[in-house]
Amino acid sequence: MDTQRFDLVLPGSATSNFVGGFYQTFDKGFGIFIWDVPPLNGCSETRINIPLTLFTGWNSIGFDQIGAPVIAETAATSRFATKANFQTYTNGALYQITSGALTGRVFFLRRAVQELYETNQGPSGFLGLPVAEEVILADGRRRLSFEGGTMEYALNGTPILKNALQAIIITAEDPIRLTPLLNSSCRRFPFRDLEAAKSLFRRALRDGSHLQPRVINTDLVPTYTSAIPGLQRTGVTRRRCRLRPVQYLNNIIEPDHRAIKK
């Protein structure tokens, strides 16, 4: 007689209530949440599962800190071509990386961080996907790193974006090309951005093995235009060097992101 094997799934906890519904976890590593009505700013369903791929992270953080799921597990691809699955909760989000060197890693975004992240288009925006766990800074604030920048924040404060430059290419034949990971939100921090632009140019131009450029191509970020005159006065670059800010002029290196990062 043929026999058929069944994997028995047992409850891992008693049914628990939360504001808006109830849930239960199971020994195979998943949870089922039943909302009284579809969650606000979530999906249109009242039953939402936490899948095995995210349950361990959710369980280790704890319901009190992360809350109940408001959407089903969703796939995403960042602008750096990294893939991930994520799920948002009442108090944050979990991202599991599914491609590249960080495959299998799960990162937690607190609610305020997730909200600012979504405002900046989430994984498809300039930040890309998270790449490291939250770290505590010397002053007690927290930092979370992404493919295209970082956020810094106090636990009960408003996160601040810290953006990164993605690539610098210098050759004897061509002008310097810069690919900044900046968007309009960066213009709220003009002093920091100006100093960052000056620092970038100093580092890029101090190598004596490279010829001084005739032209520097950038996009339309205004801090580059402000930085060049000061660098010309101090001799970092020659006075005849011309800045050519055109929005799409540096797109020639856009397809090379992955190779540059390696």
In Å, how far are 12, 78, 92, 118 from 115, measured between CA atoms?
Answer: 31, 17, 8, 5
220 and 135 inside one domain = no
Closest of 55, 53, 43 to residue 13, by C-alpha: 55
Query: Which SS3 state, helix, strand or coil, does residue 25 take?
Result: strand
What integer pLDDT is reported at residue 221 of this predicted model? Answer: 66
CB contact at 8 A, 100 and 82: yes
Asked if residue 61 belongs to a domain, the reply is: yes
Domain region containing 246:
166-261
What integer pLDDT is reported at residue 13 of this predicted model? Answer: 64
What integer pLDDT is reported at residue 5 of this predicted model? Answer: 45
Asked if residue 173 belongs to a domain, the reply is: yes
| Total structural domains within the chain | 2
250 and 217 inside one domain = yes
Residues lower than pLDDT 70 in the chain: 1-13, 163-194, 207-210, 219-223, 247-262
Asked if residue 7 belongs to a domain, the reply is: no
42 and 77 inside one domain = yes
Residue where a domain stops, chosen among 146, 163, 180 = 163
The pLDDT tens digits for 190-241 are 334 667 777 777 777 776 656 777 777 776 666 677 777 777 888 777 778 8
28 and 118 inside one domain = yes
What is the side-by-side strand order in the sheet with 30-35? 16-18, 21-26, 30-35, 47-50
What integer pLDDT is reported at residue 159 of this predicted model? Answer: 92
Asked if residue 174 belongs to a domain, the reply is: yes
**What is Dmax (Cα atoms) for the chain?**
90
